[in-house]
Structure 1
Amino acid sequence: MNIQDVINHLEVLAPLEYAEDFDNVGLLVGDKDEKLTGVLVTLDTLEEVVDEAITNNCNLIVSFHPIIFKGLKKITGKTYVERVVLKAIKNNIAIYAIHTALDNAIQGVNDIICNKLGLKNKKILIPQAATIKKLTTYVPIDEAENLRNALFEAGAGHIGNYSHCSFNTNGIGTYQGNEDSNPTLGDKGKTHNEKETQVSVIFAKHLESKIIKALTETHSYEEVAFEVVTIENKNQNIGLGMIGELENPMNEEDFLAFTKTQMNTGFIKHSQFLNKPIKKIAVLGGSGSFAINAAKFSGADVFITSDLKYHDFFMAENTMLLADIGHYESEQFTKNFLVTYLTKKITNFAVVLSNTNTNPVKYF
């Protein structure tokens, strides 16, 4: 097994195509074709974490946050980022960051928070736009079923709880091949009429190359006519934040005490109590002030996130409770989740949970 094999498993869970544009995800340091010796999973990659990887004979660090976020013009060891990169390179250790790709995954950061709080009826708070594409192609009628099945096998045709979804229209296709052509049906130099089926299927954008490959390898024509367009529908399984419900409502003080315990946080900053029961809960791991309005419009009784500033607390406008549980605290269980996931996928290599507490914020 090599490093790319581990990356393949991670990108099934959290395809990089859904990471935010500002982010820096994927393999940041190292050679993807290097033979794997072990995997260390961490929230942040610090020098102490690289030392852990060395001690545990792990040549791949899977980090939630990217150690390289902005461009590096020099690597001299002057900053903590440069020192980490230098130490990793010197010790032949690769670093992979998953960050907002996992933030946007249906089984990602926010799902972890919801599960910690025991929430039911979960759904994405801010579904991501431009993540669904549609393929339209034309195939001889007697080949249509075989082509549809190949596209379905490649991942096309999934809509919510339904699979094998397509739209089909029969008609007449025409073409005329030149002297260099080799038509499957008809003769070159002559216009040919063929009874064809127009097949349309939708697919998640990260599957595009796989879908096109299935199309071209299955279709019998020398030249395959097709188009791919991005559709406006939002993918309800991809996006930031999540909404869920408690099985039984709680009062505000009891809920914050419960959250403090479940999320293992030293304190919670919150907006003023509204003296109403907490039932519907919106969550967003990491910095989430941008989602306050989305949480309000969702009808949430409370919005759990982090990094809220003074004026952000006014934005609740007495419609819901805002709770800032801390950035590290909102994401701390991500590494445990990734270890469990990779351990199930990789049974013959060590997947090690980092013991380094990388939280830069301390409390007095």
Structure 2
Amino acid sequence: MTPKFNQVLEPNPEHMQISEVIGHLNQWAPPAYQESYDNSRLIVGDAHTAITGILISLDCTEAVVEEAITKGCNLIVSHHPIVFSGLKSLTGKNYVERTVIKAIKNDIALFSIHTNLDNVHTGVNKKICDLIGLNQTRILAPKSGLLTKLTSFVPLDHREAVLQALYLAGAGSIGNYDQCSFTVEGTGTFRPNASANPYSGQAGEVSTAAESRIEVLLPRHLQSQIVRALQKSHPYEEVAYYLTELSNTHQEVGSGMIGQLTEPMSSTAFLQHLKDTFHLSVIKHTAIHRDQIQKIAVCGGAGSFLLRSAKSAGADVFVTGDFKYHEFFDAEDSILIADIGHYESEVFTKELIYDFLIEKLGNIALNFSEENTNPVKYF
């Protein structure tokens, strides 16, 4: 791929640390959203090291580490992690161990942002949708079990201050809306003991207070920091609250994406559009069974597990990679499967990461990896 951007900026004079870059990336695609088999994290290196330059790649291989050395970069941000499971030795017996050894010897940090970037609504699949030209996009298979409801009771004169603290900590966002909450007024009762230091009332006496019951949704991985924000902003010595785990799907987190072309296209014209957009020499696809298509499902990388979801959503075409022979039969003439290849569907992730980092970091040396790490070749 010829990078869309090839700008190399001067290093940040303030000596930004690797941890600051990781902080921005983790806020964008929280590690809590990665799949159980994944290893998105800082794999090699000291997070407190000052950055000399960042190399952005799809994969991390020996050649990519050598490229980082040549370009003076001490941090590689890759989509795919070089280590998926625990290493029991580091003897250089395979490419994984040799890559890790080379990075350690040359003080190069390796960070991956993989299925967590696949699963957020501004991530890999949104990039694919944008390249194809889809609108009205949404997550194809939203995840459940990621949301919690926080309920607490606040005196009326502190309600807004407490809510603002919760919003600032990450609570109260639903899709395109933020600062979302529900409140209802009522009366709280309490009796402080002799050791208490109550906000109102007297020790040993039953008291009442006009309170607001407040409720907000929050991402489960931010639960601890949001509860701390509640306790810090709340005027009571003992803060009454409870957390309720929700089975709701999180509409902004999940696998794949689906959207619509602005205008219908013929199936053959759409396949040619894919070839031109993703610089493909070949597309593996099922039989063309309808003349006009408009609704498109996508999944970067290996997406055959989402075929049923794509069919249920009414997609005309499913664009992904790594379909096996027998899985093509599962289309059953109800959807056009377009297997464009794993590497080909995700190589533009480099641009996605670049755009994010240049906006967040500004004046820091960012480089695209020029290595074609695709292990699949075509004759």
| TM value normalised by structure 2 | 0.92
Q: Post-superposition shift, 1:319?
A: 0.7
- Counterpart in 1 of 2:12? none
What percent identity do the matched residue pairs reach?
50
SS at match of 2:290: coil
- Counterpart in 2 of 1:46? 61
Question: 1:274-302, CA deviations, whole angstroms, 9 ceiling, x for partnerless residues?
Answer: 03311110000111111000000111111
Question: Which residues in structure 2 correspond to 1:113-124 (within 5 Å)?
Answer: 113-124=128-139
- Counterpart in 2 of 1:9? 24
Instruction: Say if 2:49 is the partner of 1:34.
Output: yes
Question: Which residues in structure 2 correspond to 1:150-189 (within 5 Å)?
Answer: 150-189=165-204
Q: Post-superposition shift, 1:161?
A: 2.9
Q: Post-superposition shift, 1:12?
A: 2.2
Q: Post-superposition shift, 1:269?
A: 0.6
Question: 1:26-69, CA deviations, whole angstroms, 9 ceiling, x for partnerless residues?
Answer: 11111111111111110011011111111122111101001000
1:106 pairs with 118, 121, 130, which one? 121
Question: Which residues in structure 2 correspond to 1:312-351 (within 5 Å)?
Answer: 312-351=327-366
Instruction: Say if 2:229 is the partner of 1:206.
Output: no
1:239 pairs with 249, 254, 257, which one? 254
Q: Post-superposition shift, 1:187?
A: 3.0
SS at match of 1:73: coil
Query: Which residue identity does 1:4 align to in structure 2?
Result: S
Instruction: Say if 2:92 is the partner of 1:80.
Output: no
Question: 1:115-157, CA deviations, whole angstroms, 9 ceiling, x for partnerless residues?
Answer: 1111111111011111222110111122112212222233322
SS at match of 2:216: strand
Q: Post-superposition shift, 1:233?
A: 1.8
2-structure distance, mates of 1:131, 1:13: 16
- Counterpart in 1 of 2:207? 192
Moved more, 285-294 or 133-142: 133-142
2-structure distance, mates of 1:348, 1:275: 50
1-structure distance, mates of 2:23, 2:288: 46
Q: Post-superposition shift, 1:358?
A: 0.5
Query: Which residue identity does 2:149 align to in structure 1?
Result: K
- Counterpart in 1 of 2:373? 358
2:152 pairs with 137, 152, 155, which one? 137
Q: Post-superposition shift, 1:213?
A: 2.4
- Counterpart in 1 of 2:10? none
Query: Which residue identity does 2:328 align to in structure 1?
Result: F
> What is the total number of aligned residue pairs between the two structures?
364
Q: Post-superposition shift, 1:240?
A: 1.0
Instruction: Say if 2:279 is the partner of 1:264.
Output: yes
Query: Which residue identity does 1:298 align to in structure 2?
Result: A
Q: Post-superposition shift, 1:251?
A: 1.3
Q: Post-superposition shift, 1:257?
A: 1.2
2-structure distance, mates of 1:166, 1:120: 29
2-structure distance, mates of 1:269, 1:188: 77
Identify unmatched segments of 5+ residues in structure 1: none
2-structure distance, mates of 1:281, 1:324: 13
- Counterpart in 2 of 1:230? 245
SS at match of 1:160: coil
Identify unmatched segments of 5+ residues in structure 2: 1-15
RMSD: 1.4
Q: Post-superposition shift, 1:73?
A: 0.6
Moved more, 172-181 or 220-229: 172-181
Q: Post-superposition shift, 1:210?
A: 3.1
Q: Post-superposition shift, 1:163?
A: 2.6
Query: Which residue identity does 1:191 align to in structure 2?
Result: V
Classify 1:195/1:37 alpha carbon distance in 2 versus 1 (closer, same or farther; 3 Å): same
Question: 1:196-221, CA deviations, whole angstroms, 9 ceiling, x for partnerless residues?
Answer: 21111112233323322221111011
SS at match of 2:376: coil
2:288 pairs with 273, 285, 302, which one? 273
1-structure distance, mates of 2:130, 2:363: 29
Moved more, 166-175 or 304-313: 166-175
- Counterpart in 2 of 1:22? 37
Query: Which residue identity does 1:347 align to in structure 2?
Result: G
2-structure distance, mates of 1:174, 1:213: 24
- Counterpart in 2 of 1:215? 230
Moved more, 170-179 or 146-155: 170-179
Q: Post-superposition shift, 1:195?
A: 2.2
